[in-house]
Structure 1
Amino acid sequence: MRLVQVLIPEGARAPVLDALDGEGIDYALFDEVGRGDFEAMVQFPVPPSGVETIMERLSEAGVPEDSYAIVLPTETVVSQRLDALIERFPGLRISREELHARAEDLAPANSTFFAFLILSTVIAATGLLLDSAATIIGAMVVAPLMGPAISASVGTILDDREMASRGVKLQVIGLAAAIATGAILGLLLQGSVLIPPGVDIRQIPQVAERTSPNFLSLFLALGSGLAGALSIMRGSGSTLVGVAIAVALVPPAATAGLGIAFGLPAVAIAAAVLVLVNLLAINLSALLLFYWAGYKPLDAGQFERVRKSFTSRILVIAVGIAVLSIVLGGVTWASFQTASFEQQVQAEFQQGFEEADIEGVELVSVTVDYEPIDLVLGNEPQVNVLVAVPRDTEAPPDLAQRWDDELSQEFDRDVVVRVGFLEAQISEREDPTPPFGDLRARSQSIPQRGASASVATV
């Protein structure tokens, strides 16, 4: 429920009260004893969804734009007369005036915005290098990116060009500053003892997650933008929703900066693509939701101009997402192909060992070193096989090459196979289970890359 207070200008008392009576609004009237421009103040309760309608009626009744209207949220209203009002104005959507005010409040001063953004990027980059999801989420609480994203969309829908322009600029310049901050921090940390020499950030899971953007990332950004717009329209949970928007933008921006610092252009480009896709998707979803909610310009005569501006901006964003989606589609396809190859290879080996049924010989593990980037660059998949054999069993010297030939023929591609052997002992009991739990961990020490098929004996 909202409590609205409106100063009535001289000569407009009667039409204003008639408008309120016509809408079935209960009001209190107070004589104005201040400046002579106003003769009275009227105060009345109304549901949030009814504020916009009532303000339009009062404007038609003679309350000009340069008058004063104050809309206050109320804690509790006790009255049996409210049911009729709520039934007349159903829904929870706030008025365009209140939406405009909230969007202004969400976009902080430039100094505050950049200070919090740089600090959140520093924390996020640290969390990436530490592979700490908790640290990254903590950084998102600090990030102030929800305000510009929402204000850009609200400014477009309500025809406030200054607000829309500032929102777009803060997003673009802010994310560029985040990438630069990540790059500078990465360069500084490389020359310190805080990062081990020769570390490959591509092997850090939190970093790798931001360098393989796919269509699921697009859904995250679209959902974040819708949630942000909905939280402002309904007046609930905007802080938590801001975390979701920041998660889609700041960590990939920090990753792009780290890629620049560590001299990894593929990491920097992949993360930058993710930043751009998420940025466009957040703005697209927020714009669409505000438009579909029926918000109109503050100046009713500018509706046609706003419609054209909205259409052109939607087209530009949609084209940008479509172009970048080519990258997302490529990564999604490559990820599916590599995962399918790994699953098929593991199933092939498991079936082969079961059919062979060699006494005392066990398949310990099969791992496949094959990433989406390897598929794109045409690198050969590497299959690492660990086999346990009894001491008195001689391993075939050409086993790796034989499996290499079989897999290459089966999947119609060149494959590198590495085989490691473990000496196994099987206890004499029914349904024996070889104790290879600790040996599986040792299988990770098998070299991960090789130019040709080979046999390694452990």
Structure 2
Amino acid sequence: MLHLRLITPADRTDEVVRLIEGTVGTAHLVVLPGAARDPAGDLVLCDVAREAGDELISGLRRLGLDETGSIAVEDIDLSLSRRADRAEKEAPGEGADAVLWEGLTDATHEESTLSFTYVAFITLATMIAACGVVLDNAILIVGAMAVGPEFGPLAGICTALVRRQPRLAWRSLIALLVGFAAAMALTAGFSVFMHAVGLFSKAQLEADRPNTGFIYAPDWFSLVVAVLAGIAGTLSLTSAKSGALVGVAISVTTVPAAANAAVALVYGDTDQTARSSEQLLLNLLGIVVAGTLTLLAQKYFWARQRQRP
């Protein structure tokens, strides 16, 4: 279930209440006239089954409530109510399959913003991965994958393509490209420093690396894993199962490939640089294509499911 907290202008409250009452899957409607002060208006509270949430939120936006008042949505972890149980049964489809498009757009918009924190995380992840490739340490590679925040902009691109929002697409693309460019440049400088103090060497980079050699060896499995990770990551976002994102993060070699390319470039190993860059682009492309197709499939099947009696 979802909990909605709405601030409505007094002259629109009746319309909002009629919309809520006419939406299948709603419960616990509360109207507090004049309770809101900023903006001034009435406070309307209700619960809605996740399956019906997107329809209700879209209706509220068509009434202009996002401009004249406020729409706040939060997940309910526990609801002990027969009325809530009945509302979930009445709503068409399954809550786990429902996509809250407004929530997805808002989440990806925030995650795909180019900020100091985003650049810091992707840079730190790339530096950790640089240590991993030089030391041939798989644990450091896995840690770097988990720290990397690059799935946010990738999900933003997928969402923007499906919802036809060019501004979100550009924002996500800029965050992705600038983030990786800054991370690789700073990691190259980090590598120069580590070489100067005797912790990195070209011999370590070019030695046999049984644990991390796959990073600069792109093949069909790289694309297959990227596609599967893109599907899993998209499903984890749309179904609110964010815990699965950690598994997605450590299954693709985006950050490690960027790190390997940066270190190899410092040592003039153009072959490793080129193959690592190919691995990076292959993973990014696979995730975007798979994520976009997953969202389109969810949109199609959910529409078909809602049409069933």
TM-score, structure 2 normalization: 0.84
Give distance in 1, aligned partners of 2:148 and 2:218: 21
Partner of 2:305: none
Matched, 1:165 2:167: no
Paired amino acid for 2:167: E
Partner of 1:372: none
RMSD of aligned alpha carbons: 2.5
Paired amino acid for 1:15: E
Give distance in 2, aligned partners of 1:11 and 1:199: 72
Residues 53-202 of structure 1: pairs in structure 2 closer than 5 A: 53-59=55-61, 62-66=63-67, 67-87=69-89, 88-91=91-94, 92=96, 93-107=98-112, 109-195=114-200, 198-199=203-204, 201-202=206-207
Partner of 1:22: 22
Paired amino acid for 1:137: V
Residue 126 of structure 1: SS of its match in structure 2?
Answer: helix
Partner of 1:286: 291
Give distance in 2, aligned partners of 1:40 and 1:265: 65
2:257·2:280 contact (CA, 8 Å) conserved in 1?
yes
Identity %: 23
Partner of 1:343: none
Partner of 2:50: 48
* 1:55-114 CA distance string (max 9 Å, x none): 234455x45441311111112111112233222143222411211222133235521111
1:9·1:63 contact (CA, 8 Å) conserved in 2?
no
2:260·2:276 contact (CA, 8 Å) conserved in 1?
yes
* 1:10-33 CA distance string (max 9 Å, x none): 333333323322224331111124
Deviation at 1:290, TM superposition (A): 1.9
Pick closer, same or farther for the CA change 1:272–1:85 going to 2, 3 Å: same
Paired amino acid for 1:23: T
Partner of 2:249: 243
Partner of 1:258: 263
Residues 417-436 of structure 1: pairs in structure 2 closer than 5 A: none
Deviation at 1:153, TM superposition (A): 2.0
* 1:251-273 CA distance string (max 9 Å, x none): 11111122212222111111111
Matched, 1:267 2:272: yes
Q: Identify unmatched segments of 5+ residues in structure 2.
A: 301-309
Deviation at 1:156, TM superposition (A): 3.1
Pick closer, same or farther for the CA change 1:197–1:177 going to 2, 3 Å: closer
Give distance in 1, aligned partners of 2:59 and 2:192: 60
Pick closer, same or farther for the CA change 1:32–1:63 going to 2, 3 Å: farther
Deviation at 1:238, TM superposition (A): 5.2
Paired amino acid for 1:50: A
TM-score, structure 1 normalization: 0.59
Give distance in 2, aligned partners of 1:274 and 1:197: 21
Residues 437-448 of structure 1: pairs in structure 2 closer than 5 A: none
Pick closer, same or farther for the CA change 1:40–1:202 going to 2, 3 Å: same
Residue 168 of structure 2: SS of its match in structure 1?
Answer: helix
Give distance in 1, aligned partners of 2:159 and 2:283: 18
Partner of 1:2: 2
What is the aligned length?
293
Deviation at 1:157, TM superposition (A): 2.9
Q: Identify unmatched segments of 5+ residues in structure 1.
A: 296-458
Deviation at 1:134, TM superposition (A): 0.7
Give distance in 2, aligned partners of 1:84 and 1:224: 36
1:145·1:242 contact (CA, 8 Å) conserved in 2?
no
Residues 311-326 of structure 1: pairs in structure 2 closer than 5 A: none
Deviation at 1:250, TM superposition (A): 0.7
Pick closer, same or farther for the CA change 1:11–1:266 going to 2, 3 Å: same
Deviation at 1:37, TM superposition (A): 7.1
Paired amino acid for 1:78: L
Deviation at 1:35, TM superposition (A): 4.8
Deviation at 1:4, TM superposition (A): 0.9
Name the larger-Rg structure: 1
- Given the alignment, which residue of 272, 281, 285 partners 1:276? 281
Paired amino acid for 1:28: V
Give distance in 2, aligned partners of 1:238 and 1:104: 20
Residue 120 of structure 1: SS of its match in structure 2?
Answer: helix
Partner of 1:424: none
1:229·1:289 contact (CA, 8 Å) conserved in 2?
yes
Deviation at 1:200, TM superposition (A): 5.3
